Amino acid sequence: SRFETCWPALMKDSHGVIIIFNPELPSHLKEIEMWYSCFVQQQPLLDSQCLLVAHHKPGSAGDTENLSLAYPLNKLKLIHSNLEEDPEDVRMEFIKYFRSIFTLINESREREEMSIIS
């Protein structure tokens, strides 16, 4: 893609990755493997630092709700967003995700400080 040259700058010092995709597009399901590989595995970030969001457009087929992703994507936290039906649910999931990232950052900062002290 023409933006690949920007990726290193985007990835630098990042603490989390949110991948939003359309579960109805088979091409998206292939692409999220590539995004996961580039932005999570090669960084490397923990799987808990990645959130997958299957975004359902208004009036889309609901049968993608029980989406089963192949390994390694099936290890990741997956949420379904449908802003017509349940925006509050999505908001709560985002808050949980951001809390977990902050916790990780604080823990690693504390470890760094301890290693400097000792």
pLDDT tens profile 18-51: 999 999 888 888 899 999 999 999 888 999 999 9
For the chain, list the domains and their CATH numbers: 7-117 (3.40.50)
Q: Strands, E, within 50-113: which ranges? A: 50-55, 77-81
pTM across the whole model: 0.82
Q: Which amino acid does the sequence have at 115? A: S
Q: How confident is the model at residue 10 (pLDDT cuts 50, 70, 90)?
A: confident
Has residue 86 got a pLDDT over 80? no
Q: How many CB atoms lie within 10 A of CB 51?
A: 21
pLDDT tens digits, one per residue of 53-85? 999 887 776 555 678 888 999 999 999 988 777
